[in-house]
Chains A and B, each alone.
Chain A
């Protein structure tokens, strides 16, 4: 029975009037995030935000803990995602029109040029940020138990990011793209250098198979373009997004960012600002916390020295996102993404250079295709993935350059890493290598003894020496990682600035001359 004087019509008008209000409340159930409780529900009630924990430790919010590099990588990815989708409106992945469609984007499509430039700069920034982020996680020893698996996921994200860059490089179908991909695909084929040398290529041609699957043909053509397009806009972004979700989730499940042992005491001054911890006592507790067995690091520890993630963490993240956008848009206004002449399979670009982050590889590839393109990179990639399992020490977790040796060891490793790679490179550039002296030398010897492998061997010996010197596996890891970072920088700089036509050494691109 309805109450006296009830009018359905009256209620209908009332409902109609309050639609905006009710829709708002249906979507944002917790109300504005003004108290600790609504701030919490703001996060745990939202499928995207709940990748974050509700409260964040003050240590994690310090700028020096992460430098915002992970968020910067994410932000760069989001920017490439948005700009990439926009570019897909006009890009046509067919060899006869691909180049023209990029030209259209550049010259005709409104804002097309800017969007493409932003896409290019964000992609570059993403590579830089992901490498720096990895270095941060390494130098703060954040890969240790229980974070081994998350380091592993991060490793997958690095490889996927490089894959995205590589596949994106072909799409403009200009000379730069065509020859970089020709070289890249032939690197995939370079295990033939070994199989040829031992004479088994006719029945075990892993190199040829890799190249064929990558290109879908025996040359860089229409099949390769559509394959790279598919990988670039579909497969790899999906993979990246999936890995990112796991990566973020695991940060939370592994107890937030890695903190040093006495992090609580070290943030005590900052914590005073946030006293008392709660503005209103929550009327519900996390019942799960009582059930979960004690492996999760947060179980059993109180909320001290943590602050609500909304707004403290989110606003910091938003700041990094805005900064990243600013950098990308700024660079996009200043410098255009390159576009050379239409791809010509008859005449290679001279010099034919890959994107800058692969030029270190290209530098060692110029000594041996297999070792430079597959052997040494594989060693680095596998070594990087295994770091958390090889260094299982406890000391120094969460500290910059934590662990035996510390900053001093890193400093000397930098000297050693830069020194060795510059010296070996300078020697090879000045005096040549084995084949210049002994023209009939078997290929096998060059494959295994070339500047790339010599540098690698020096680094390996130095890091074993460091393990013994400090009697610590972490010291060895610090030495090796630092050396490889230095080697990467040296080789990349040489490949980028000091190699010209015929991959000859030039002090400056101004000396290249006409070709």
Chain B
């Protein structure tokens, strides 16, 4: 919209957008923008950049008396370590259903919470567990094993 430069606008003429409306909208808009931005900032807060949890890598020495296929549970860890003719391997004992701790049994592993059952190699035998128990990465250093609870390996990997 163009107005003639010499033509004085009357104060009764309607403005393209009323000044008060503009100021009001600007105030409202900036308020919402500030609100949205600060909300975004606040939403970032609950997720920590670094998770506070104990180290997931630990060393363990298996007792000499450990029999073939018998589980050894390192103290304070939710891991079962086995040794047989092919080598050493570690299976997580955290149920893949809802995170209870499975117990070793004759058939393999059994979960007390919702009745999931796993075979000796961690494959699902029964119950609601959606996935097999993961095998964990084991590195051998003489007789000391280093187990990393965070890295999983293919089922059947023995060292």
Contacts and interface: CB of A to CB of B under 8 A. Distances in A.
Contacts of B69: none
A216 B97 contact: no
B46 A213 contact: yes
Contacts, number: 97
B113 A183 contact: yes
Contacts of B46: 213, 216, 227
Given A193-B130, A218-B53, A365 B114 contact: yes
B124 interface: yes
Contacts of A223: 48, 52
B100 interface: yes
B93 to A, nearest CB: 9
A152 B47 CA distance: 30
B140 interface: no
A503 B114 CA distance: 5
B128 A365 contact: yes
Contacts of A193: 130
A351 interface: yes
A126 B24 CA distance: 45
Interface in B113-127: 113-115, 124-127
A436 interface: yes
B51 A365 contact: no
Nearest to A219: B53
A69 interface: no
B98 interface: yes
A443 interface: yes
Contacts of A443: 130-131
Contact of A182 (B76, B99, B112): B99
A183 B101 contact: no
Nearest to B117: A502
Nearest to A436: B126
A348 to B, nearest CB: 4
Nearest to B46: A213
A349 B111 CA distance: 11
A367 interface: yes
A352 B112 contact: yes
B78 interface: yes
A219 B97 CA distance: 15
Contacts of B131: 196, 443
B99 A351 contact: no
B159 to A, nearest CB: 25
Contacts of A190: 98
A350 interface: yes
Interface in B96-112: 97-101, 110-112
A348 B112 contact: yes
B100 to A, nearest CB: 4
Interface in B35-89: 46-48, 51-53, 76, 78
A179 B112 CA distance: 11
Nearest to A443: B130
Contacts of B115: 366, 502-504
A347 B101 contact: yes
A441 to B, nearest CB: 10
Nearest to A344: B101
A447 to B, nearest CB: 8
B51 A183 contact: no
Interface residues of B, number: 26
Contacts of A216: 46, 48, 52
Contacts of A209: 47
A346 B51 CA distance: 20
A317 interface: no
Interface in A73-125: none
Contact of B110 (A435, A446, A502): A502
A374 to B, nearest CB: 12
Contacts of B112: 348-352, 501-503, 515
A54 interface: no
A213 B101 contact: no
A160 B35 CA distance: 24
Interface string A157-183: 000000000000000000000010011
A177 B111 CA distance: 18
A348 B130 CA distance: 20
B51 A212 contact: yes
A221 interface: yes
Contacts of A513: none
Contacts of A186: 97-99
Residue among A368, A446, A502 with max Cβ neighbours from chain B (10 Å) = A502
A491 interface: no
B60 to A, nearest CB: 15
B38 to A, nearest CB: 17
Contact of A502 (B111, B125, B128, B130): B111
B128 A348 contact: no
29 contacts: A182-B98, A182-B99, A185-B99, A190-B98, A197-B130, A216-B46, A216-B52, A217-B51, A217-B52, A218-B53, A223-B52, A346-B78, A346-B101, A348-B100, A348-B112, A351-B113, A352-B112, A352-B113, A368-B128, A369-B98, A369-B130, A435-B127, A439-B124, A443-B130, A501-B112, A502-B111, A502-B113, A502-B115, A504-B115
For the complex of A and B, the 8 pairs showing the least CB-CB separation, nearest first, are: A350-B112, A366-B114, A186-B99, A186-B98, A348-B100, A503-B115, A443-B130, A503-B114
